[in-house]
Structure 1
Amino acid sequence: MELFHDTEPSQKQQADQLEESWTAVDPGCPVPSTRDLLEAANVVRKHYRIKVSGPEPPPPLRSWSELTAVAISTQPLAMADAASAAVDAAGGSRHRHGNSKTAQRSGGADSSESTGLAYASPAGPKPVQVLLSRLQQEGYAHPTPIQRQAVPALLASRELLAVAPTGSGKTLAFLVPILVRLRQLKSAGDWPAWPKAVVLSPTHELSAQQARTLNLLLPGSGLKACLLNKATATGNDLSKVDILLANPLRLATMVANGQLDLSGVRFLVLDEADKLFELGFVTQIDGVLAGCSHRDVVRALFSATLPDKVENLARTVLKQPLRVIVGAKNTAVHAVSQRLLYVGQEAGKLLALRQLLAEGLKPPVLVFVASKERAAALHRELLYDGVHVDSISAALSPTACAAAVDNFRSGKTWVLIATDLLGRGMDFVGINTVVNYDFPNSPMDYIHRVGRTGRANKTGDAPLLRPIANLIKEADGEVPDWMLRLKKLRTKDRKRPALSPEVVSGANTNTKPVNKGRKKLKRTLATVKANKRRQPDT
Structure 2
Amino acid sequence: MELFHDTEPSQKQQADQLEESWTAVDPGCPVPSTRDLLEAANVVRKHYRIKVSGPEPPPPLRSWSELTAVAISTQPLAMADAASAAVDAAGGSHHRHGNSKTAQRSGGADGSESTGLAHASPAGPKPVQVLLSRLQQQGYAHPTPIQRQAVPALLASRELLAVAPTGSGKTLAFLVPILVRLRQLKSAGDWPAWPKAVVLSPTHELSAQQARTLNLLLPGSGLRACLLNKATATGNDLSKVDILLANPLRLATMVANRQLDLSGVRFLVLDEADKLFELGFVEQIDGVLAGCSHRDVVRALFSATLPDKVENLARTVLKQPLRVIVGAKNTAVHAVSQRLLYVGQEAGKLLALRQLLAEGLKPPVLVFVASKERAAALHRELLYDGVHVDSISAALSPTACAAAVDNFRSGKTWVLIATDLLGRGMDFVGINTVVNYDFPNSPMDYIHRIGRTGRANKTGCAITFYVEGDAPLLRPIANLIKEANGEVPDWMLRLKKLRTKDRKRPALSPEVVSGANTNTKPVNKGRKKLKRTLATVNANERRQSDT
Task: State the distance in 1 between where 2:92 and 2:36 align.
Answer: 24
Provide closer, same or farther for how the CA distance between residues 479 and 535 of structure 1 changes in structure 2, counting only shifts above 3 A.
same
Equivalence for 1:406: 406
Task: State the distance in 2 between where 1:64 and 1:458 align.
Answer: 22
Equivalence for 2:439: 439
Equivalence for 1:181: 181
Task: State the distance in 1 between where 2:541 and 2:422 align.
Answer: 53
Equivalence for 2:485: 476
Please tell me whether the aligned partners of residues 73 and 94 of structure 1 are also in contact (alpha carbons under 8 angstroms). no
Please tell me whether the aligned partners of residues 61 and 152 of structure 1 are also in contact (alpha carbons under 8 angstroms). yes
Provide closer, same or farther for how the CA distance between residues 321 and 441 of structure 1 changes in structure 2, counting only shifts above 3 A.
same
Deviation at 1:26, TM superposition (A): 0.4
Deviation at 1:340, TM superposition (A): 1.2
Task: State the distance in 2 between where 1:10 and 1:120 align.
Answer: 43
Deviation at 1:500, TM superposition (A): 3.6
> Structure 1, residues 186-219: CA drift from partner, whole Å, max 9, x if none?
0000000000000000000000000000000000
> Structure 1, residues 236-257: CA drift from partner, whole Å, max 9, x if none?
0000000000000000000000
> Can you give the 5+ residue segments of structure 2 that lack an aligned partner in the other structure?
461-469
Please tell me whether the aligned partners of residues 340 and 479 of structure 1 are also in contact (alpha carbons under 8 angstroms). yes
Task: State the distance in 1 between where 2:160 and 2:40 align.
Answer: 22
* SS of aligned partner of 1:122: coil
Please tell me whether the aligned partners of residues 271 and 303 of structure 2 are also in contact (alpha carbons under 8 angstroms). yes
Please tell me whether the aligned partners of residues 67 and 119 of structure 1 are also in contact (alpha carbons under 8 angstroms). no
Equivalence for 1:420: 420
Q: Does 1:516 align with 2:516?
A: no
* SS of aligned partner of 1:340: strand
Please tell me whether the aligned partners of residues 164 and 305 of structure 2 are also in contact (alpha carbons under 8 angstroms). yes
Deviation at 1:339, TM superposition (A): 1.2
Equivalence for 1:491: 500
Which of 471, 474, 486 is the aligned partner of 1:465? 474
Provide closer, same or farther for how the CA distance between residues 83 and 515 of structure 1 changes in structure 2, counting only shifts above 3 A.
same
Deviation at 1:504, TM superposition (A): 5.1
Please tell me whether the aligned partners of residues 111 and 125 of structure 2 are also in contact (alpha carbons under 8 angstroms). no
Deviation at 1:111, TM superposition (A): 23
Provide closer, same or farther for how the CA distance between residues 74 and 116 of structure 1 changes in structure 2, counting only shifts above 3 A.
farther
Moved more, 147-156 or 343-352: 343-352
Please tell me whether the aligned partners of residues 195 and 265 of structure 1 are also in contact (alpha carbons under 8 angstroms). yes
Deviation at 1:506, TM superposition (A): 4.1
Count of residues in correspondence between the two structures: 538
Please tell me whether the aligned partners of residues 159 and 299 of structure 1 are also in contact (alpha carbons under 8 angstroms). yes
Report sequence identity in percent. Answer: 98
Task: State the distance in 2 between where 1:490 and 1:530 align.
Answer: 63
> Can you give the 5+ residue segments of structure 1 that lack an aligned partner in the other structure?
none
Task: State the distance in 2 between where 1:321 and 1:524 align.
Answer: 62
Moved more, 61-70 or 332-341: 332-341
TM-score of the pair, normalised by structure 1: 0.86
Deviation at 1:368, TM superposition (A): 0.6
Deviation at 1:359, TM superposition (A): 1.1
Deviation at 1:346, TM superposition (A): 2.0
Deviation at 1:269, TM superposition (A): 0.1
Task: State the distance in 2 between where 1:416 and 1:336 align.
Answer: 19
Deviation at 1:119, TM superposition (A): 21
* SS of aligned partner of 2:14: helix
Moved more, 192-201 or 447-456: 447-456
Please tell me whether the aligned partners of residues 96 and 103 of structure 1 are also in contact (alpha carbons under 8 angstroms). no
* SS of aligned partner of 1:61: coil
Moved more, 427-436 or 119-128: 119-128
> Structure 1, residues 15-36: CA drift from partner, whole Å, max 9, x if none?
1111111111100000000111
Deviation at 1:91, TM superposition (A): 19
Please tell me whether the aligned partners of residues 166 and 455 of structure 2 are also in contact (alpha carbons under 8 angstroms). no
Deviation at 1:381, TM superposition (A): 1.2
Task: State the distance in 2 between where 1:219 and 1:198 align.
Answer: 19
Provide closer, same or farther for how the CA distance between residues 389 and 459 of structure 1 changes in structure 2, counting only shifts above 3 A.
closer
TM-score of the pair, normalised by structure 2: 0.84
Deviation at 1:355, TM superposition (A): 1.1
Task: State the distance in 2 between where 1:406 and 1:533 align.
Answer: 34
Moved more, 297-306 or 352-361: 352-361
Task: State the distance in 2 between where 1:320 and 1:366 align.
Answer: 39
> Structure 1, residues 497-526: CA drift from partner, whole Å, max 9, x if none?
444444455433289999999999999999
Moved more, 274-283 or 508-517: 508-517
Task: State the distance in 1 between where 2:36 and 2:217 align.
Answer: 35
